[in-house]
Amino acid sequence: MRYTEQEPGSFCAWDNWSQWVLFLLLGFALTGRSFAYLGIPPAKLFISDLTLAAFVFLRPRKLFDPWMQALTWGGALGPFAWVLLASVGYGIFEVVRGVLAGFSPMVAGENLVFNVYPIYVFLGI
C-alpha cells in the first residue's frame, strides 16, 4: 500500500515484498556470508536467487514493462535495452548450442545467468 499524505509521526504500511527485502538486507548485513548460503547449496540456488526468481514469476510486469518501454519508446535506456536483448538472445543460443554439443544442461543454465541478471537493472529503476 502506498500513501501520498501521512500524518506526522505515522509510518506507512509495508507490503509483503518490502518486508521480505528488509529481512534479506538485515540478514545480509548482520550475518554476512552465512546468510547468503541459505537455500539449496548442492543445486547452487541461494536465498537471493530464489527471491529474484519468485519476483519474476509473481510480478513479471514490474520487471518487463520498463524493459519493453525502453525497447519501443527509446529514451536514455533504449540502447542499453537493445544490447541487453541481444545479450539474452545470445545467451539462449549458447545454452542450446552447449546442450546439443553434449554439455550438462545444468552447467549451460548456470552460464545463462551472466546474460540474464542485467535485466534486474530495470527493476532498480
Q: What is the pLDDT of residues 78-114, one digit of tens each?
A: 898 899 999 999 999 999 999 999 888 888 888 888 8
Q: Of 41, 58, 75, which residue is a domain's last? A: 58
Among 58, 74, 100, where does a domain finish? 58
Query: Is 32 in the same domain as 72?
Result: no
**Hey, what amino acid is at 86?**
A
- In whole angstroms, how far apart are CA 113 and each of 18, 106, 108? 24, 11, 9
Q: Which helix or strand (DSSP H or E) is residue 40 part of?
A: strand 39-40
Neighbours of 108 (CB within 10 A): 18
Is the distance from CB of 12 to CB of 6 less than 8 angstroms?
yes
Question: What is d(CA 96, CA 112) in angstroms, rounded to the nearest whole number?
Answer: 10
* pLDDT of 125 over the 80 cut: no
Q: Which residue has the cell 502506498?
A: 2
Number of domains in the chain: 2
* 66 and 107 share one domain: yes
Say if residue 40 is in the same domain as residue 68: no
| pLDDT at 2 exceeding the cut of 80 | no
Please indicate, yes or no, whether residues 18 and 50 belong to a single structural domain of this protein: yes
Q: What values do phi and psi take at 24, rounded to 5?
A: -65, -45
Do 69 and 118 belong to one domain? yes
pTM (2 decimals)? 0.67
Same domain, 78 and 117: yes
- The mean of the pLDDT values for the chain is 81
pLDDT at 23 (0 to 100): 87
pLDDT tier, 52 (very low <50, low <70, confident <90, very high otherwise)? confident
Q: What is the pLDDT of residue 118?
A: 85
Whether residues 67 and 52 share a domain: the answer is: no
Where in the sequence is the domain holding 84, given as residue range(s)? Answer: 60-125
Nearest Cα neighbor of 18 from 50, 55, 57, 53 is: 55
Question: In this structure, are 119 and 73 located in the same domain?
Answer: yes
Taking the mean position of all CA atoms in its chain, how far away is CA 25? Answer: 15
